[in-house]
Structure 1
Amino acid sequence: MEYPDLPILVTAGLIAFLSLYAGKLANKIKLPSLIGFMIVGVLLSPSLAGLLSEDIQSSLQFITKIALGFVALSIGMELHIKELKRQGPGIMLVILTESFGAFLVVGLAVFLLTKDPALALIFGAIAPASAPAGTVAIIQEYRARGPLTKALYTVVGFDDGLGIIIFGFAFAVAKAIISSRTGLETMTLSAAVLTPFREIGLSILVGLVMVLVFTLLSRTLDSSRDRFILTVATVLFTTGLCEYFHLSEILTNMIVGMAFTNTQPVKTSREIDESLRAIMPLLFLFFFTLAGANLHIAALPSLGVLGLVYILGRAAGLMGGAWLGTSLGRMEDNLRKYLGMGILSQAGVAIGLSLVVKQELSEMGSSGIQLGAMVITTVTATCIFFEIIGPILTKIGLTKAGEISLPQKNKESTS
């Protein structure tokens, strides 16, 4: 169905109206409000009502980037050095085991199904990528507090960096395998595997430089309002640099937040954190509504056996890896039981990696084009599942761990 083009602000206002009340309705049936936001996005998407056309989504895409920037900043601001030391090496072990667990289980499962090592490496490499926005949205909506909450912030913050490294190595090997089949020359393996290290190194460097800039500029400001405006400017500028230089928006802004909270006065950090919590619900509303609009219903029938294997393998790898890491690290029972439930969300980063796969393989002949199409279709379809089930399981895990203690009435008022 085609609609006349509405002014972009009218469309944005309509999204806010509908998603606000859809979120309230989701709360009424004991679901996180972001599920209501996503449903509105799906209903307005090109697959159904068609109000959020591809052009309109493209016009509003900057909101998604801004939201991701602030999500990453908020994650970083929870990563206090003293707290990380208190969590001990066990939390780093968890990040390693859940990321490599997803990579190995998905890779092995896809290989057993397809007998194609290149395809197995590609799907395995995409599996560790997470969507921290879903986890952070649940934590903030329900004001969760406790060891599990702190561990989730750490894991979803750092596993994207490790995921980028895994993808860089595995995809480089996959391309070498495909290239040897087709007889085409491609970049050397050594050059390919250096790319993720370059991205991570530059992301850390840009993040640290932006904190230094913030520190120097903030010395001339004496009000919390002005410091908050400077914080917003820092996130916008940092996110823009990431887009321009093709860096990780999540990792870079997380470094900004982490450096910020560990170098600035406690009073300043607390002021900024309170201000962020005031605007995050609105950013989440737009972010998840637009995410829903991107989850094309037409992709669901193409899920097939490969998609089911990917879903089961990724869930088993992440949850099993988290359990293994918390067990080896001798972490407390609540983390061992419920940490894996909070890290299943997957969306933007995974779809972005699948787009990289499609673009890179399109230059490698018809077999490369077929593989690329298979990857992006499967990942897009499975993200629908993970974006719905991930936040729900995060809420269940936090509730069972006793870290969501607000009465339901108050929960609704925060969504």
Structure 2
Amino acid sequence: MLIALQNIDIHHLNIVLMMGIVVFGGIVGAKLFQRLKIPQVIGYIVIGLIIGESALGIVPRETIETLKPLNYFALGIIGFIIGGELKLDMFRRFGKQFTAILIAEGVLAFLLVGSAATVICLLFGMETKLALAVGIVLGAISSATDPASTIQVLWEYKSRGMLTTAVTAIVALDDALALTLYGLGTAIAGILAGGTGNGIALSLLYAFLELAGALVLGLIGGAVLLWILRKTNDIQSVLAFAIGAVLLVLGLSIALNLDIILASMAMGLFITNVAPNRSKDTFELVHKFAPPIYVMFFVFVGAGIQISSLTTIAWVLVLVYVVGRSLGKMFGSSIGAKIAGSQPKIKKYLGMCLFAQGGVAVGLCILAGQRFSAYPEVGELIVLVVAATTLVVQFLGPAFVKLAVTKSGEAGLNITEDDLLTEYSVKDVMEESPAVIRHNYNLNQILDTFRQSNHICYPVVNQKDELIGVITIDGIRETFMYQEAMPWLLAEDLMRPVGHITSSGELLIEAVKRIRESHLDYMCVATGEPHKLEGLLDYRRAMRKLNAEIIRRRELVDQSFA
């Protein structure tokens, strides 16, 4: 075994071991950054940089290309979950606001980056038409926003509110705008760069067909998935069908050259709007399944970035691209929000949530590089600039999203069951005056107590009101096997030992953990020795109280939308 370990070459690890390093290392990095109050996404990317070719070289570029389907899978899962957040009612209420903001932030980023990049290329001696072509392409690509890292931060900080809703809608729609601008931009760039383009009208037609095809494919996939979900009640099968449907839509999107995020997003949008109640559990299952996929995706993003190949002009273009794009997103969203009459916090903070740039931009820059076949050095320059800016804004983006949702007061408002379990003590949800059974009650008195209440467990107390046992409905059923003895049986004959006990001051999460581990339905709440009854923790009732409180708090947040 020692010899085998000595012969391991870290630069040629098997795929399974490498994926283990990626997931485990990514999680460790995320936790370290989380302790520093930095979003986890940055931790994933930093680990990727460390194990990628920019540092240790554990994950070579060839491996990243081999594992590219995992990236598609991650983007598909993210798109599907984003679609689940897009309610048609939201678009009916805020569609005009979102459209105005989307166009303003996308177009202004396009104009600022495009004009600045053109000037830089001219200053470095590039001929006018070629410089203008590079500027147009970079400007078009700059309009895209990465939904993956942006949404990941919103989830991490449990954000909820009008700003969160606007961000989710904008990043979901930004791809469509970016593809449209890209189709127009590359058509013009192709003509300027020597007639390699397909013409403006044809390029726009291709962009339209790509978007429409992805939308139709996603809606069909959603309809098929919903039909299956209506025929299935098994939780494990629901998850398997949902993941299978996402993979099928992704595969068809790739085969047909359609936008994978838009297709998977349309599928999620369809089932959440047609069957909101039935699809709720499906999205929760997919959400819980997804974390390892996200980790690999973001680690590979970091591992795939090479910063050693950048030339002077590339570094300058990276600088003007990041500055121009950031200003365009911030001022554009603010202008759009002002025109649309949006809430002040949207005008102030929305632009800060749109800095991240990811897979769509990188994919478009690779396609753009191919358009400059007559000028391979220009195509390579575009790819390098977009790859480097992706690294920069992937660091800036999550940090600014966190800052925006924190400053706007929306962080932590998307309350979950785990949040309340940590926040509450047993006293907050226990039955403080449960129906009790005296130790000397006969069977008729016990049954009368059952009829007057609907608990499944009843504490038994002695003459000093000390807890000495419990009687359950299941336990009473067993006594009917001995009908001849029933007239003489008393509560102290029928009761069971108390078993697990909690106190009113114990954290609810600890009590619930013990209930789940022991497969219990209840736990007596008592103090002192001998035990003095304080109440009863009924697991099912406690969970109903938590769910009611979650709904109440979310409704309070949603009322601020109006």
TM-score range, shorter chain: over 0.9
Q: What residue in structure 2 maps to residue 71 of structure 1?
A: 78
RMSD over aligned Cα, in angstroms? 2.0
Check if 1:48 corresponds to 2:39. Answer: no
Q: What residue in structure 1 maps to residue 499 of structure 2?
A: none
Distance (whole Å) between structure 1 residues aligned to residue 308 and residue 197 of structure 2: 34
How much has 1:298 moved relative to structure 2?
Answer: 1.3
User: What is the letter of the counterpart of residue 45 of structure 2?
Assistant: M
User: What is the letter of the counterpart of residue 67 of structure 1?
Assistant: A
Check if 1:320 corresponds to 2:320. Answer: no
The one-character-per-residue Cα deviations of 1:137-182 (angstroms, maximum 9, x if unpaired) are 10111111111111111000011111101100111011011125xx
User: What is the letter of the counterpart of residue 290 of structure 2?
Assistant: M
Question: Alignment partner for residue 338 of structure 1, among 345, 349, 360?
Answer: 349
Distance (whole Å) between structure 1 residues aligned to residue 309 and residue 391 of structure 2: 9
Q: What residue in structure 1 maps to residue 401 of structure 2?
A: 394
How much has 1:349 moved relative to structure 2?
Answer: 1.1
Structure with larger Rg: 2
Distance (whole Å) between structure 1 residues aligned to residue 91 and residue 214 of structure 2: 21
Q: What residue in structure 1 maps to residue 139 of structure 2?
A: 124
How much has 1:400 moved relative to structure 2?
Answer: 0.5
How much has 1:304 moved relative to structure 2?
Answer: 2.2
Structure 2: 5+ residue runs without aligned partners? 1-8, 123-130, 423-562
The one-character-per-residue Cα deviations of 1:353-374 (angstroms, maximum 9, x if unpaired) are 1111111211xx2xx2222121
Q: What residue in structure 1 maps to residue 264 of structure 2?
A: 253
Question: Alignment partner for residue 120 of structure 2, among 107, 113, 119?
Answer: 113
User: What is the letter of the counterpart of residue 69 of structure 1?
Assistant: G
Q: What residue in structure 1 maps to residue 295 of structure 2?
A: 285
Q: What residue in structure 2 maps to residue 198 of structure 1?
A: 209
How much has 1:78 moved relative to structure 2?
Answer: 0.5
Q: TM-score, normalising length from structure 1?
A: 0.92
Q: What residue in structure 2 maps to residue 295 of structure 1?
A: 305
Question: Alignment partner for residue 104 of structure 1, among 102, 111, 118?
Answer: 111
Residues 113-192 of structure 1: pairs in structure 2 closer than 5 A: 113-115=120-122, 116-179=131-194, 186-192=197-203
Distance (whole Å) between structure 2 residues aligned to residue 273 and residue 208 of structure 1: 16
Distance (whole Å) between structure 1 residues aligned to residue 117 and residue 14 of structure 2: 45
How much has 1:253 moved relative to structure 2?
Answer: 0.8
Which one is further off, 26-35 or 103-112? 103-112
Distance (whole Å) between structure 2 residues aligned to residue 261 and residue 279 of structure 1: 18
Q: Which has the higher helix share?
A: 1
Q: What residue in structure 1 maps to residue 16 of structure 2?
A: 9
Could you tell me whether the CA contact under 8 Å between 1:34 and 1:284 is conserved in 2?
A: no
Structure 1 residues 219 and 176: CA distance shift in structure 2, 3 A: same
Distance (whole Å) between structure 2 residues aligned to residue 49 and residue 188 of structure 1: 45
How much has 1:405 moved relative to structure 2?
Answer: 2.5
User: What is the letter of the counterpart of residue 18 of structure 1?
Assistant: G
Question: Counterpart of 2:308 in 1: which secondary structure?
Answer: helix
How much has 1:300 moved relative to structure 2?
Answer: 5.2
Q: What residue in structure 1 maps to residue 559 of structure 2?
A: none
Distance (whole Å) between structure 2 residues aligned to residue 18 and residue 88 of structure 1: 41
Structure 1 residues 73 and 313: CA distance shift in structure 2, 3 A: same
Distance (whole Å) between structure 1 residues aligned to residue 286 and residue 115 of structure 2: 42
Residues 332-371 of structure 1: pairs in structure 2 closer than 5 A: 332-362=343-373, 365=374, 368-371=375-378
Aligned length: 401
How much has 1:34 moved relative to structure 2?
Answer: 1.4
User: What is the letter of the counterpart of residue 241 of structure 1?
Assistant: L
Question: Alignment partner for residue 247 of structure 2, among 216, 228, 236?
Answer: 236
How much has 1:230 moved relative to structure 2?
Answer: 1.2
Distance (whole Å) between structure 1 residues aligned to residue 164 and residue 286 of structure 2: 18
Structure 1: 5+ residue runs without aligned partners? none
Q: TM-score, normalising length from structure 2?
A: 0.69
User: What is the letter of the counterpart of residue 243 of structure 2?
Assistant: V
Q: Which has the higher strand share?
A: 2
Question: Counterpart of 2:17 in 1: which secondary structure?
Answer: helix
Distance (whole Å) between structure 2 residues aligned to residue 351 and residue 209 of structure 1: 28
Check if 1:225 corresponds to 2:232. Answer: no
Distance (whole Å) between structure 1 residues aligned to residue 232 and residue 405 of structure 2: 39
Could you tell me whether the CA contact under 8 Å between 1:299 and 1:381 is conserved in 2?
A: no
The one-character-per-residue Cα deviations of 1:54-108 (angstroms, maximum 9, x if unpaired) are 2322232222111100111111111101122222411111111111111111112
Question: Counterpart of 1:143 in 2: which secondary structure?
Answer: coil
User: What is the letter of the counterpart of residue 289 of structure 1?
Assistant: V
The one-character-per-residue Cα deviations of 1:367-409 (angstroms, maximum 9, x if unpaired) are x2222121111111111101110011001101101111279x9
Question: Counterpart of 1:298 in 2: which secondary structure?
Answer: coil
Q: What residue in structure 2 maps to residue 267 of structure 1?
A: 277
Distance (whole Å) between structure 1 residues aligned to residue 236 and residue 278 of structure 2: 11
The one-character-per-residue Cα deviations of 1:189-215 (angstroms, maximum 9, x if unpaired) are 332221101101111111111112113
Higher relative contact order, chain-length normalized (CA < 8 Å, sep 6+): 1
User: What is the letter of the counterpart of residue 152 of structure 1?
Assistant: V
Check if 1:404 corresponds to 2:411. Answer: yes
